[in-house]
Copies of this chain bind each other. A is one copy, B any other.
């Protein structure tokens, strides 16, 4: 038997989530406490694989663990889809803001680096830029 007895190592391989991270997610309640074998080891099933994959993809999209908790609630029907939509839009707006900030940063860094590489100014152009 035990057709669906998945060890934490196998779960980690299947989902791409680090073993320590799996235990961490359990500790903070992002995934439910795993069932245990007679020897006290965690035993997972395919549902656990699904859920952990969900969590991983959400993390890759940059959602915080708290946000993922809400998304999981939506997934299991305990919360309205509207909430997931609001989260996604809010997060997307934050991402857009980050992109704007980083673009400005990139310009500033490029300008400083270009002036420096041209060796025009007497001091260091990057240090100059930071000293104002």
Contact = CB atoms under 8 A, between A and B. Distances in A.
Nearest to A75: B127
Interface residues of A, number: 42
A88 B110 CA distance: 8
Contact of A74 (B61, B91, B110, B124): B124
Taken together, the copies of this chain in the complex come to: 2
- Interface of A, helix, strand, loop or mixed by DSSP: helix
B108 A61 contact: yes
Interface in A109-124: 109-110, 112-113, 116-117, 123-124
Given A84-B126, A96-B106, 10 more contacts: A57-B129, A71-B130, A74-B126, A75-B131, A81-B116, A84-B127, A85-B113, A85-B126, A92-B110, A92-B113
Interface of A: 50, 53-54, 57-58, 61-62, 71, 74-75, 81, 84-85, 87-89, 91-92, 95-96, 98-99, 102-103, 105-106, 108-110, 112-113, 116-117, 123-127, 129-132
